[in-house]
Amino acid sequence: MASSSFWNKKKVFITGHTGFKGSWLTLFLTSLGAEVVGYSSHPPSIPNLFEQGNVAKECTSIKGDITDYDSLFHALKQHNPDILFHLAAQPIVTTSYKNPIETFKTNVLGTVHVLEAAKHIESIRGIINVTSDKCYENDGSGNRAFVETDRLGGFDPYSASKACAELVATSYQKSFFRTNTLHLASVRAGNVIGGGDWAEDRLFPDIIRAYLQDGTLNIRSKNAIRPWQHVLDPLHGYILLAEKLWIDAECAAAWNFGPINEPNRTVHNVIQSIMKLWNKPLTILSPHTNTPYESPILTLDSTKAVNKLGWTPKLSTDHSIAWTVDWYKKYAFGENMESFTRQQIDAFKNL
């Protein structure tokens, strides 16, 4: 488990702290005693976990955009963090088709800005650059799970932008950080689920909206296979990696964090599991055939993280789905989501 003794009073800077993963990460780190400064433009949706979890009270929150280098550099220089987590991104595949320029600008140039600014901040010892499992060149065959040394690529603009962000990170690590006390690692997680995700065109939020509205669910690719995992599992991996990165330059590399020893689960299978837990059916519709392309199968090999970090998922896919459904049920019943979100973090830490 992540070390409270390590994180206590550590100054942590998070880009994208108002997003789904960023909000969970902020709450996780502050529960370990870290002092978090967040830098983000705005919460990505209404509603959003940042507000539902009252995340702002746990951190210093700065409104800014990673495409604005001067603003970002000033924020980093003002706060002199020990560790930086870079999560800010345009994270949706379908949005990348609609707005590829903004996607590449945010995900690629934004990453350049973050790393260039960090290069000039002497206090920073470690950077965790968060990309995606979609950064790999995927032919859709599903012959094997991706390992960290596999070729990068991307059919859609989002996936390509994340592959580019990986190349940027590798360049900075080799060009500027290799002989420095600052070490950079990139992390690639699967399809994370968890309470408080309200993004458009994501499976769980779309299902919950269907339940809260007319009971009709539009699904793009019901047979697609993804590495489903609760958001706290990869975040725990990122945190463990940051601890190791502090003392071991060999950890300055790419890392996968995905489910282990779990059967392949299709979108359709996950929907059936959610309906069973919610105890209510949905009317499921498929969209028109001109749906933008997404790879039909994507799985990760996380052997490296298991062997070198001692990381393993604490929640199975079934438990991940159950925890997520439980969060949204509590929301639907009008319960205090700030309190319940923290309860789930505490429960996770005790597993």
Active site residue 39: no
Tell me how far apart the alpha carbons of residues 76 and 15 are, in angstroms, rounded to a whole number: 10
Query: Using CA of residue 158, residue 159, residue 165, residue 167, what is the dihedral sign?
Result: negative
Q: How far is CA 45 from CA 19, 106, 201, in A?
A: 9, 17, 12
Q: How far is CA 298 from CA 85, 189, 212, in A?
A: 25, 11, 30
Tell me how far apart the alpha carbons of residues 330 and 342 are, in angstroms, rounded to a whole number: 13
Residues 6 or more apart in contact with residue 75 via CB below 8 angstroms: 13, 37, 39, 62, 64
From the list 158, 172, 328, 331, the catalytic residue is 158
Tell me how far apart the alpha carbons of residues 312 and 262 are, in angstroms, rounded to a whole number: 12
Which position has the token pair 């793009």?
220
Helix axes 267-278 and 203-212, enclosed angle (nearest 10)? 40
Q: Is the peptide bond before 47 cis (omega within 30 degrees of 0)?
A: yes
Query: Contact at 8 Å (CB) between 233 and 314?
Result: yes
Residues that are catalytic: 158
